[in-house]
Amino acid sequence: MGLLENISTPKDLDRLSESEMHQLAQEIRSFLVQHVAQTGGHLGPNLGVVELTLGIHRVFDSPHDSIIFDTGHQSYVHKILTGRHNFETLRQKGGLAGYPDRAESEHDIVESSHASSSLSWADGISRAHQYNGEDDRYTVAVIGDGALTGGMAWEAVNNIAADRQRKVVIVVNDNGRSYAPTVGGFANHMAELQQELQNRLDQVRLDRRYDKTLDVMRQKLQKSGPVGEMVYRGLHGMKAGLKDIVVPNGLFEDLGMKYVGPIDGHDQDAVETALTAAKNFGGPVIVHAITEKGRGYAPARAHEDDQFHAVGIIDPETGQPLASKGGQSWTGVFSSEIKNIADEREDIVGITGAMLIPVGLKPMQQAYPNRVIDVGIAEQHAIAMSAGLAFGGLHPVIALYATFLNRGFDQLLMDVALHGAGVTIVLDRSGVTGPDGPSHHGMWDLALLQFIPGLHLAAPRDAATLREELREAVAINDAPTVIRYPKGDVGDDISAIHRMDDGVDVLRQSGDSDSSSGQLDVLLVAVGAMVPLALSVSESLEQQGVSSTVIDPRWIMPVPGSVVSAARDHRIVVVLEDGVKAGGVGSRIRQEMRSQGVDTALNEVGLPSEFIPHASRSEIFDEVGLTTEKITGDIMAQLSGEMVPYARGKGIKPKHAR
């Protein structure tokens, strides 16, 4: 039997010897590789925090002591140590979440996995403990994968450092990477700390006599049982203390915080010694741990781009993907087209927030390294900076995951839109993203963007319209433009029957208009990736004798005039969007219709204003009613309440018709 199967709570770690801890770390890494390979997930980051997480749970007492992970995708080991071994269901509907989840365990605290917020949480939690007189409770924040590049983290440090009495331990998981290598001045400073430490330790320990003496004493002391082990740990702490003496740690001490490190984040003894020292200090402490992303798994270490930051289903032995890659992705289409546009226009500048590869800016960066800027995990800064770039005569193209636009909303409103800046924002992974869960669904952008003055918003339905709309967006230099598209494969191009003068595409028309009113029954307005669903609904309605028109506005802000005109020519308007219905595209179209005296009934079909748990995109659509059967049924029910079937099967007439 292995050790891992007998670990159900953090307290089970207390009885393990040093050698058993090393064995457990190996078992955990093997467990992660075998299970994450079957489901997909954040493999590399978790392989890198095994000893850190073990040490934290040995030194601190969760949940009495609060442990926060930033970002939360580093919490797999924490889940295992707190009794959640059911990784067969990781990131699947009804199964284990890929981030901390309060519903799963009392050991989980922060569910949102937007980076750089952990230290604000730590500030708040530690203040609460202090106000409540709970002086025996510690707050531990594990911050890594580039999260310290976010300005919000430093706002929190500024406040935490102001109170020397609060028991806050900030564990910096320094693996030199976010998704890819970490960038910026702070990352450079951390690298300099590590190099300076190594240089000075090399000078201090040239003859290694200290280490040899310590090894001999260790062998003798361990024979004397627990007391000897404690003495040895004290001596080991003296050795680790050399680092605290020689390291140039002025930055942190100037902030008013004790600094411990850098330490080897894979040396279990060093980790526990440093954490114990931090705990005993009694005030705010930063523990700087150097780790390796993908530690112990050769395929991850060999993968230079991201060291298996996140993987799909893979062969655990080779690391090679097992699932078919399918067709071209939305991201891939953007990636090639923005590179083509950059070839043609020297004023195009790409901006990313630590996501160069995931958002598709890597090819442009390779071709034009001086025209792609990685700001780190700092979306607010990226958007405000883009206004300055636009003022200087450039056209910035900011590529983000849709969920992270939330963080830069104020800057988009007040720095970009207010100043009429020609900035293009490209939102990848919009709508329902699937297994990453509520903090990563890109379902808020359509509602958030509706009321920003002057903003132009497009949602392409296929690769052709993505290329087309991207070029239209960068041609606008006096207002912000936003292009949004979902995760996954882009699918086949969908041709239009014809395009109206204002750019709205008519994709399908079925059935005859009513002879007396000249109206068709249903106008289906499809937002971007919802076009295939709208076409399917139209076909279903046709089978039941209901006439319909399917249009793709292409640019959904401002609302094109032909959308309102088309609404006037139909009895019902149904707007399909993969954002929240409240305040979304349907609501905006309804307002435009009312302002122009069009009183056609309008139904918004989209996502509920709820935090939607992790599941596949199709499972979530089925759950919320974004299916052909449900939408068709609702339309038929609405029609049957006001109308009766037309005998010749050429549509539906009002009840009062003769």
Q: Contact 62/14 with Cβ under 8 angstroms?
A: no
Instruction: Tell me if 298 sits within 8 A of 318, measured CB to CB.
Output: no
d(CA 379, CA 630): 38
Q: Residue 599: helix, strand or coil by DSSP?
A: coil
The C-alpha atoms of residue 205 and residue 211 are separated, in whole angstroms, by 8
Distances (CA, A) of 255 to 237, 244, 286, 500, 600: 25, 17, 11, 61, 62
Strands 372-374 and 348-352: parallel
In order, the DSSP letters of 451-487 are: TSTT-EEE--SSHHHHHHHHHHHHT--SS-EEEE--S
Amino acid occupying residue 641: G
> Tokens standing for 60?
């601190």
Task: Reply yes or no: is the peptide bond before residue 558 cis, omega within 30 of 0.
Answer: yes
382 and 408 Cβ atoms separated by less than 8 Å = yes
Closest to 425 (Cα-Cα) out of 456, 388, 448: 456
Determine whether the annotation assigns residue 379 to a binding site. yes
Q: Is 145 annotated as a binding residue?
A: yes
Using the structure block, give the residue that is written with the tokens 């930063």: 286
Sheet holding 505-510, edge to edge: 498-499, 505-510, 548-552, 520-526, 570-580, 601-607
The torsion angles phi and psi of 177, rounded to 5 degrees, stand at -145, 155
List Cβ neighbours of 97 (8 Å cut-off, separation of 6 or more): 91, 104, 111, 437, 613, 614
* Phi, psi angle pair for 412, to nearest 5°: -65, -40
HSE toward the beta carbon, residue 421, CA cutoff 13 A: 29
184/174 Cα distance (integer angstroms) = 14
What gap in Å lies between CA 296 and CA 79, rounded to an integer?
19
Please tell me the distance from the alpha carbon of residue 262 to that of residue 249, in angstroms, as a whole number. Answer: 10
Six-digit token pair at 416? 């970009």
Is position 76 annotated in a ligand binding site?
no
Report whether 485 belongs to an annotated binding site.
no
Residues facing 311 on adjacent strands: 41
Determine if residue 114 is labeled as part of a ligand binding site: yes
Cα gap 448→451, rounded to integer Å: 7
Q: Is 259 annotated as a binding residue?
A: no
Q: Which residues are documented as binding site for thiamine diphosphate?
A: 73, 113-115, 146-147, 175, 297, 379
**Which residues belong to the annotated binding site?**
73, 113-115, 145-147, 175, 297, 379
Binding-site annotation, residues for Mg(2+): 145, 175
